[in-house]
Amino acid sequence: MAAKRRTAASPDPRTDCSREGLRKAVLDNLFYATGHAQENAARGDWYTAVAYTVRDRMLKAWVQGIERIAADGDVRCVAYLSAEFLIGPQLGANMLALGITEPMREALASLGQDLDAIVFHEPEPGLGNGGLGRLAACFMDSLATLGVPAIGYGIRYEFGMFRQAIEDGAQVELADKWLRRPFPWELPRGGQQYEVRLGGKTHMETAPDGTLRVQWTPAKTVTACAHDIPVVGHGGTHCNLLRLWRAEAVEAFDFSTFNAGEYFSSVHDKIFSETITKVLYPNDDPYQGKQLRLGQQYLFVSASLQDMLHIHHSLGKPLETFHTTFAIQLNDTHPAVAVAELMRLLVDVHGMDWDTAWSVTTQTFAYTNHTLLPEALEKWPLPLFAEVLPRHLEIVYEINRRFLESVTAAHPEDPDLARRLSLIDETSPRFVRMAHLATVGSKAVNGVAALHSELLKRDVLGDLAAFFPEKFTNVTNGVTPRRWLALCNPALAACISNRIGTRWQDHFEEEIIRLEEFADDPDFQAQWQAAKLTNKQRLTHLAKTILRVELDPAALFDVQVKRIHEYKRQHLNVLRVIALYNRLRRNPGMDFVPRAVIFGGKAAPAYYLAKQIILLVNRVAEVVNTDPAVAGRLRVAFVPNFNVRSGQVIYPAADLSQQISLAGKEASGTGNMKFGINGAVTIGTLDGANVEMRACVGEENFFLFGLTTDEVQAVQRAGYSPAAHLEGNPELAEALDQIRSGVFSRGDAGCFRPLVDNLLHRDEYLVLADFASYMDCQDRAARTYADPAAWTRMSILNVARLGMFSSDRSIREYCRNIWNVPVE
């Protein structure tokens, strides 16, 4: 039968967004993409069918977005280089962006299916450790929403962040096989493949034009293959690209060895090559000695730069104008080797002279630093670097030679300055300092919160900042209000939209402030409280089903979810829980505001003390949750495998957000913002972005405690003695004593000894010094919570005044102050 031609009036079945159109498309995809009829389709098949249906509706904008990048050389394209993109589940976010959630819900309901159950079924690509990778994903969302052409370049890890299970209270790491089923949001791009070399040696050779050029003879060559994921902006009109690289063998088989009968060695090369993008490294693990990690970083950097040069070339623009086509942001130092790689590509491959190449390079890159912990600044041992990237080491030496010449010429009075600024750490063993390489090779360097940027300039990168004062700047982080309010908190989103309309979703800063005027409105307060209750019930249900812990939705939900790290001080929180428990035990009739204290987060597999903290939380939960004297008024829960999906349930349910890191240690934090825009009030120190959040919401709407950065430094300079803080504080002494003596380890007195000894004798993060102030502040929070109108007012004002923490604002600042890219 001849195919029926579509009339002008009949909608295209692949883009039709009506309820009936979606229904037909889902059934069509169910049959043709999964091979199932409606009657015998499983939940996963429905998910695939819905995902393909949504993806079809994104493709037109996507193709236009790619064409715009490839055809419009006048607008600089942002290239965001990040080893991590923690994009989270895609289906719900994409439907929200296209505005088709409700018609899809109805279409599925007419087929007897529940959209929420299908959304919940989606496996999450865990391509990041936490804040840094999630920030990259929020930025991609904002770039697309603001219509800024951008490509996110990263790594398609076959195994993402490990899955955390809790067995008998302890963390157990399980492999994350997120690609077990095909990932419907990616398109493998056969046409975008680049060869990436590793190892080997270099020598000089005369080029055909008579000039001497360095030749690099690699030990290995692998192919980087592009997998593209669309990033659609709110409203669905603009779509950008996330391009993730997968390593593949240049030749799957070495046929000569295969023919000689050596089957195993013939597949060796394939196995080696594919190993490069096999697994994401958990952070907080020492990187030194991890050759494969440097291989990963180089693979994605080299492929991305080759890809950008290819795009630039196809625009017909001269190579010297590369920086007018791309503004490249280095997300932390993981992609910092890009500075040397761009120099190699321009000088060695394209024959550009060094000075021109350096000028192009330093106008192209900008670098974001994300840490204040000196031990987290990446350094690669020279021998390892030389083995993996011999040519790049030569280039780093040459950059350094020229740079140090300028340092010595500018500051003859400070002969030690060159040693401090050098790209090479000359202590034994010698290292390449990646933060120095990134700074020297970039036109701008930014921290991620005002305090962080100040401390970078003052301490961590102080000498570099003094030498390049014009480069250093700040861009405070933000989070996307689409995923982190509209999507994850439909109850509060509806309550907000009923008052101020829906424009806040893509004009957050301008619009959300309008809620201020309703902060004392009893009707609005009642709706606000009802929304919070709905979210607390949702989390209560989750806790009951996965943890078998009974939470009371009327209790104060007091939450700390983030990576487990000593500087974030989850142990301070546990000590406080133990102190509250002791108060209740001693005085069961006391006036006590019921609390549900919820923890979540992963510890790096090799981080012993962080794993002790997880065990302690779970052991304390075991005792507290079953003690009849407590009578349910204090509950402790550790939610396993904290990730984007569980975050979407946890943040909206929180009343109190715990942001209790030692001042001067947390670069910014972004969980603090996610909690805040979902109506949680913060209890926190003056650290990271807390400082700016407090300034925005008003000090009366923030529970502040703890030492300031300057006080911390003063205490440490004076010689800190943790034990001194036990003397005047019997509650603290008792809690530590109980942990040490086995009250929370089933009588095993040795169990938590490393943690307790650390606190008593070292306490690098001043847990004991901040304990008293933390307890007082917690008491204030409890008293305020006992007055629902006062608390709800605080909650509303927190949301209303946190407009600046939208990642749209951050991206506008990057566009204007760093990338020089037009933005609305």
Which parts of this chain interact with ligand 9GP (CB under 6 A)?
Answer: 130-132, 135, 283, 332, 370-371, 376, 448, 477, 666-670, 688
Closest CB to ligand 9GP among residues 258, 287: 287
> What does the alpha-carbon distance between residue 478 and residue 814 come to, in Å, rounded to a whole number?
12
Catalytic residue among 134, 293, 563, 801: 563
Token pair for 615: 């065990």
Closest CB to ligand 9GP among residues 538, 569: 569
> What does the alpha-carbon distance between residue 307 and residue 330 come to, in Å, rounded to a whole number?
16
- The yes-or-no answer on residue 443 being catalytic is no
> What does the alpha-carbon distance between residue 271 and residue 220 come to, in Å, rounded to a whole number?
13
Catalytic residue among 471, 532, 562, 576: 562
First to last CA, the chain: 51
Token pair for 155: 């790594």
Closest approach of ligand 9GP to the CB of residue 446, in Å? 10
Q: If residue 229 lies in a helix (H) or strand (E), which one and from where to where?
A: strand 220-232
Token pair for 613: 């903290």
Closest CB to ligand 9GP among residues 464, 736: 464
> What does the alpha-carbon distance between residue 674 and residue 693 come to, in Å, rounded to a whole number?
12
Q: If residue 77 lies in a helix (H) or strand (E), which one and from where to where?
A: strand 77-81
Q: Is residue 569 classed exposed, middle or buried when 0-12, 13-18 and 19+ CB atoms within 10 A define those classes?
A: buried
> What does the alpha-carbon distance between residue 45 and residue 579 come to, in Å, rounded to a whole number?
50
Residue 474 has phi, psi (to 5 degrees) of -125, 140
Closest approach of ligand 9GP to the CB of residue 454, in Å? 15
Closest approach of ligand 9GP to the CB of residue 620, in Å? 26
Closest CB to ligand 9GP among residues 766, 768: 766
Amino acid at 313: H
Closest approach of ligand 9GP to the CB of residue 177, in Å? 24
Closest CB to ligand 9GP among residues 96, 667: 667
Q: Name the residue number minimizing CB distance to ligand 9GP.
A: 131
Q: Is residue 660 classed exposed, middle or buried when 0-12, 13-18 and 19+ CB atoms within 10 A define those classes?
A: buried
Closest CB to ligand 9GP among residues 511, 666: 666
Closest CB to ligand 9GP among residues 563, 619: 563
Closest CB to ligand 9GP among residues 490, 688: 688
> What does the alpha-carbon distance between residue 813 and residue 509 come to, in Å, rounded to a whole number?
13
Closest CB to ligand 9GP among residues 674, 725: 674
Give how far Cα 757 sits from Cα of 354, 716, 728, 739, 761, Å. 55, 19, 19, 11, 6
Token pair for 264: 């195993």
Closest approach of ligand 9GP to the CB of residue 134, in Å? 8
3-state secondary structure of 83: coil
- The yes-or-no answer on residue 370 being catalytic is yes
Degrees (nearest 5) of the Cα angle 116, 120, 122?
A: 125
- The yes-or-no answer on residue 568 being catalytic is yes
Closest CB to ligand 9GP among residues 45, 84: 84
Hey, which bits of 156-308 come out as E strands? Answer: 163-167, 170-174, 187-198, 201-206, 212-217, 220-232, 239-249
3-state secondary structure of 326: strand
Are the C-beta atoms of 438 and 430 separated by less than 8 Å?
no
Are the C-beta atoms of 445 and 369 separated by less than 8 Å?
yes
Closest approach of ligand 9GP to the CB of residue 130, in Å? 6
Closest CB to ligand 9GP among residues 82, 94: 82
List 509's β-bridge partners, or say none.
Answer: none
Closest approach of ligand 9GP to the CB of residue 283, in Å? 6
Q: If residue 47 lies in a helix (H) or strand (E), which one and from where to where?
A: helix 43-71
Cβ neighbours for 55, distance < 8 A, ≥ 6 positions apart: 94, 184, 185, 230
Catalytic residue among 156, 344, 370, 482: 370
Closest approach of ligand 9GP to the CB of residue 687, in Å? 9
Q: What is the DSSP code (8-state) at residue 478?
A: -
Are the C-beta atoms of 213 and 351 separated by less than 8 Å?
yes
Q: What is the DSSP code (8-state) at residue 701?
A: G
Closest approach of ligand 9GP to the CB of residue 560, in Å? 14
Are the C-beta atoms of 105 and 193 separated by less than 8 Å?
no
- The yes-or-no answer on residue 134 being catalytic is no
Give how far Cα 469 sits from Cα of 57, 570, 739, Å. 47, 36, 49
- The yes-or-no answer on residue 270 being catalytic is no
- The yes-or-no answer on residue 562 being catalytic is yes
Closest CB to ligand 9GP among residues 604, 614: 604
Degrees (nearest 5) of the Cα angle 382, 388, 391?
A: 80
- Three-class SS of 439-451: HHCCCEEEECCHH
List 150's β-bridge partners, or say none.
Answer: 78
Closest approach of ligand 9GP to the CB of residue 371, in Å? 4
Catalytic residue among 76, 674, 740, 801: 674
Catalytic residue among 238, 568, 619, 740: 568
Closest approach of ligand 9GP to the CB of residue 135, in Å? 4
Residue 571 has phi, psi (to 5 degrees) of -70, -30
The CA-based diameter of the chain, rounded to the nearest angstrom, is 92
Give how far Cα 224 sits from Cα of 113, 191, 195, 276, 367, Å. 40, 11, 6, 10, 24
3-state secondary structure of 690: helix
Closest approach of ligand 9GP to the CB of residue 368, in Å? 7
Closest approach of ligand 9GP to the CB of residue 329, in Å? 12
List the one residue out of 234, 209, 188 whose CA is nearest residue 95: 234
Closest CB to ligand 9GP among residues 661, 798: 661
Catalytic residue among 101, 439, 670, 792: 670
What counts of helices (H) and strands (E) characterise the chain? 34, 22
Residues annotated as catalytic are 370, 562-563, 568, 670, 674
